[in-house]
């Protein structure tokens, strides 16, 4: 066991197989992702947009600056613990760089990124998997949160439509 610089908690580096045995927890759900491109909305450059997947109604848009971080998190429906995915915004899409969750189990990739346990949470970094959009069915019952560079007030998930297919994507 070792401590990560700047960390106040315990950090343990584990292989995925050891992590699965260590946590002994049930299956976990993942965010569905899909494709789109970055082209700007025609006024003022590229935007990070939260919109309806079918109607394309826009609920929020934020000026896109390459390198800004998008965090999409929710309470897992089975474990009732927070799951957070962090994406780096780039001119050509989003790159998943970090996932943080309480349990690691079935459905999780076995060959992606660096895995460690920190303060009882599973942290996966160095994922670097590109996505052009993040898609999900929005629910007010799972406490969704959307953060831009740590600011969760820019897109208020409570104001988004309940039980509707939404997406976050650069345009």
Alpha-carbon distance 93 to 90, whole Å? 5
Measured distance CA(100)–CA(113) in Å, rounded: 12
pLDDT tens per residue across span 90-144: 878 999 999 999 877 766 667 789 999 999 999 999 999 999 999 999 999 999 9
Which element (helix H / strand E) includes 22?
helix 16-23
Which sign, positive or negative, has the C-alpha torsion 138, 98, 79, 16?
A: positive
Can you give the residue ranges of every domain in the chain? 11-170
Q: Which of 32-46, 82-96, 149-163 has the lowest mean pLDDT?
A: 32-46
pTM over 0.85: no
Residue 63 to residues 24, 26, 94, Cα–Cα distance (Å): 42, 39, 14
DSSP code, position 160:
S
CA 77, CA 85: separation in Å to the nearest integer? 16
Scan for tokens 């976050």, then name that residue.
168
pLDDT of residue 32: 29
């Amino acid at each position: 066991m070792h401590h990560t610089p700047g960390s106040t908690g315990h950090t343990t580096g584990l292989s995925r197989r050891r992590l699965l045995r260590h946590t002994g927890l049930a299956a976990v759900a993942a965010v569905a992702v899909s494709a789109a491109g970055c082209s700007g909305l025609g006024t003022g450059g590229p935007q990070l947009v939260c919109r309806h997947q079918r109607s394309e109604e826009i609920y929020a848009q934020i000026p896109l600056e390459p390198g800004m971080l998008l965090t999409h998190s929710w309470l897992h429906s089975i474990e009732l613990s927070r799951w957070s995915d962090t994406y780096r915004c780039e001119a050509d899409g989003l790159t998943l760089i970090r996932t943080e969750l309480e349990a690691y189990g079935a459905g999780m990739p076995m060959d992606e990124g660096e895995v460690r346990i920190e303060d009882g949470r599973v942290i996966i970094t160095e994922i670097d998997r590109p996505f052009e959009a993040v898609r999900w069915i929005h629910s007010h019952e799972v406490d969704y949160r959307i953060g831009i560079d740590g600011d969760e007030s820019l897109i208020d998930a409570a104001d988004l439509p309940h039980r509707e297919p939404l997406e976050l994507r650069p345009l």
